[in-house]
């Protein structure tokens, strides 16, 4: 029996580096929750995807967000509204609006690194999203490496050199 866990790899060039993103897609399946918690452990990023035309998928984000924060505490989190291509009847806005996405991000206290709107059907926004995520991870790792270099080499603080002050010259 299949667990429902799909794995994909995609390589991007960021500057002079080749970055491989490994994507583990659970499809939001709660029955693989025990398996997915072990995959979160080494995750550097989490992409939380919901359907713009499905409020239920949007409201389920809270639990997924909690899982990411619990099991992958250092992962960068990205929020993606999919199905941007779907038109609603009567020209009404989709059930999940930009304001809903902004409100969710505010409730998450700045834990969301970026938000995107995409269409897996047409491909709209997909390439840009993954390229942006790859760039963000490279920048994050660069900052982490710089911090590690400071920690391993350390630094010393010396008092300022004494200056012989001749006093007032007036």
**Structural fold of domain 6-152:** Rossmann fold (3.40.50)
* Higher pLDDT among residues 153 and 87, named by residue: 87
Q: Which tokens is 117 given?
A: 């709107």
Give CA separation, 120 vs 56, 73, 103, in Å.
19, 28, 24
Q: Which tokens is 81 given?
A: 């509204």
Q: Is the pTM of this model over 0.85?
A: no
Dist. CA 117–CA 112, nearest whole Å: 14
Q: What are the tens digits of pLDDT across the range 115-130?
A: 999 999 999 999 999 9
Nearest to 128 by CA among 141, 112, 110, 115: 115
Q: Give phi and psi for 95, each to the nearest 5.
A: -55, -35
Question: Could you state, in order of their start, the residue ranges of all structural domains in the chain?
Answer: 6-152
Q: What are the tens digits of pLDDT across the range 129-139?
A: 999 999 998 88
Q: What is the pLDDT of residue 109?
A: 83
Q: What is the pLDDT of residue 55?
A: 93
């Amino acid at each position: 029996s299949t667990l429902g866990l799909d794995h994909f790899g995609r390589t991007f060039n960021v500057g002079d580096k080749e970055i491989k993103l490994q994507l583990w897609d659970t499809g939001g399946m709660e029955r693989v929750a025990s398996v997915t918690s072990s995959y979160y452990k080494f995750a550097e990023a989490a992409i939380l995807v919901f359907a713009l035309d499905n409020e239920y998928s949007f409201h389920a984000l809270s639990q997924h967000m909690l899982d990411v924060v619990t099991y992958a505490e250092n992962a960068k989190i990205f929020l993606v509204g999919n199905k941007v291509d779907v038109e609603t009847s009567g020209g009404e806005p989709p059930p999940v609006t930009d304001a809903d996405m902004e409100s969710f991000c505010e409730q998450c206290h700045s834990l969301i690194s970026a938000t995107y709107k995409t269409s897996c059907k047409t491909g709209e926004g997909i390439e840009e999203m993954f390229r942006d995520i790859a760039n963000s991870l490279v920048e994050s790792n660069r900052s982490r490496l710089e911090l590690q270099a400071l920690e391993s080499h350390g630094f010393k603080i010396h008092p300022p050199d004494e200056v012989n002050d001749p006093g007032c010259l007036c």
